[in-house]
Amino acid sequence: MSKAKADNLKKILDEAGPKFNIHDPATWSKQAALAAKGSWDELKKLQDVLNAGKTKK
C-alpha cells in the first residue's frame, strides 16, 4: 500500500462502485509508509490534520 499511487487506488475504488468510490486515497500511501516504518507519532500527527483521511479544508 505504501508504494501504491493514489491515481491507481482511486481507479480501483471507482470501478468497485458507489460504496467505495466515495473514498479519497490521496494520503493512504503516506499513512501506510509511516505505519510500516513504525513511525506512530508522525502518523498520529498526520492523522490529526486529516478529516476522514482527507486534508482538512
CB atoms within 10 A of CB 44: 10
In the 3-class helix/strand/coil scheme, how is 1-57 assigned residue by residue? CCCCCHHHHHHHHHHHCCCCCCCCHHHHHHHHHHHHHCCHHHHHHHHHCEECCEECC
Handedness of CA 26, 22, 39, 8 (dihedral sign): negative
| pLDDT at residue 54 in the model | 74
| pLDDT at residue 51 in the model | 83
Strand pairing report for 54-55 and 50-51: antiparallel
Which cell numbers in the block locate residue 9?
487506488
Q: Where are the domains of the chain?
A: 6-55
Query: Per-residue pLDDT tens for 6-53?
Result: 999 999 999 999 999 999 999 999 999 999 999 999 999 999 999 877
Q: Is the pTM above the cut of 0.85?
A: no
**Per-residue pLDDT at 57 exceeds 70:** no
Of 20 and 57, the structure prediction assigns the larger pLDDT to 20
